[in-house]
Amino acid sequence: MDNENVKKKVMLSGIQPSGDLHLGNYLGAVKNWAELPEQFDCFYFMADLHTLTVRQDPKELRRRSTAQLAQYIACGLDPEKNTLFLQSHVHEHAELGWILNCYTMFGELSRMTQFKDKSARHTDNINGGLFTYPALMAADILLYQADFVPVGEDQKQHCELTRDIAIRFNNLYGETFKVPEPYIPKVGARIMSLSNPASKMSKSDPLGCVFLMDKPEELARKFKRAVTDSDTERCVRFDPENKPGVANLIQIYSSVTGRSFDEIEAEFDGKGYGVFKPAVGEAVIETLRPIREEAERMIADKAYLQQVYTDGAQKASFVARKTLRKVYKKIGLVEKPF
């Protein structure tokens, strides 16, 4: 068969522009998106609707949404080869999100770790959206009939719920949705905070968080101060249980240099943390430098970014509309005559 006619498998993922992109987002997600072979049909978006579950400064949200697009492109996502768009520009997400709410159980939503974490952190604003968030995420994925969802470890639970919702819906109405699979990297799927290696790196903990747009001096400082461990051994060995700080730095170093854990242990054998920490910092600085420079250049080019997200939303809407129409028909909504 002609290669052109073979339908490509679909990859889809998104990141909330609720803060600037950090090293966890990069190593756990975007880096892998950019490395995916070209035989996939790829959709990547800014999950701006999802950010509304926590109060946002409107001006900042707008700035971060387009800055995130610039960072996606700077990380290697070519807009000619990937469909890049803003979630809110494709209204089918909100529409299918509502429908899937009606096929998602209270008990399932109550078990979601992210809901438990966020509701504990934002006790003054435990809103309905925070609770039903996974149904919108399921809509994001199922609208595009995605085969794979490349995410970090923390999103596995939401991806599994998406599968359950898809299977439930298909059992009720016949084949409607592709049942997707999470696609989680072997290294980098759970990057921990530099200041507290017991919790994952997150924008809500700026001290231990490395941002893609941090300047080299800032990066060097953060890595120099990274918490290692208090044992007397002080050697570079991958032991997440007893040396979580060191294990996290080894993981970061491995992810940016492509070296195996064994090679890294050999490289720093007998050298101690005083040599190891700055070396990790330096490797991260060199990885992020071209990304930051390219993103800064693009953030200034508003017309270009607007063109990219306009084209992206048009392509995405075309696919999303097809699935939504199928869903409306299956569940018994009267077809729109205009």
Residues binding ligand TYM (CB under 6 A): 13-16, 24-25, 28-29, 47, 50, 137, 140-141, 149, 151-152, 154-155, 158, 189-191, 200-201
Nearer to ligand TYM, 140 or 277 (CB): 140
Active site residue 203: yes
Closer to ligand TYM by CB, 155 or 228: give it: 155
Compute the least distance from the CB of residue 252 to ligand TYM, in Å.
10
Tokens for 199, please give them: 């919790």
Q: Which residues pair with 41 in a beta bridge?
A: 10
Dist. CA 247–CA 234, nearest whole Å:
12
Please, which residue, 128 or 174, has the CB nearer to ligand TYM?
128
In the complex, which residue's CB is closest to ligand TYM? 28
Token couple for 246: 């060191």
How many CB atoms lie under 10 A from the CB of residue 202?
A: 18
In the complex with ligand TYM, the residue whose CB is nearer, 24 or 79, is: 24
Helical H segments across 174-269, by residue range = 216-224, 244-257, 261-267
Q: Based on the residue annotation, tell me whether 118 is a catalytic residue of this protein.
A: yes
Q: Cβ closer to ligand TYM: 200 or 277? A: 200
Instruction: State yes or no: is 326 an active-site residue.
Output: no
Write down the least CB distance from residue 14 to ligand TYM, Å. 4
- DSSP three-state, residue 320: helix
Smallest separation, CB 43 to ligand TYM (Å): 9
User: Residue 213: how many CB atoms within 10 A of its CB?
Assistant: 18
Question: Which one is catalytic: 9, 178, 203, 330?
Answer: 203
From 31, 118, 222, 243, active-site residue: 118
Q: Provide the minimum distance between the beta carbon of 139 and ligand TYM in the complex, in angstroms, as a whole number.
A: 9
First and final C-alpha spacing in the chain? 38
Catalytic, out of 200, 222, 243, 277: 200
- Specify the DSSP element, H or E, that contains 169: helix 156-173
| Relative orientation angle of helices 92-101 and 302-331, to the nearest 10 degrees | 40
Which are the catalytic amino acids? Answer: 118, 200, 203
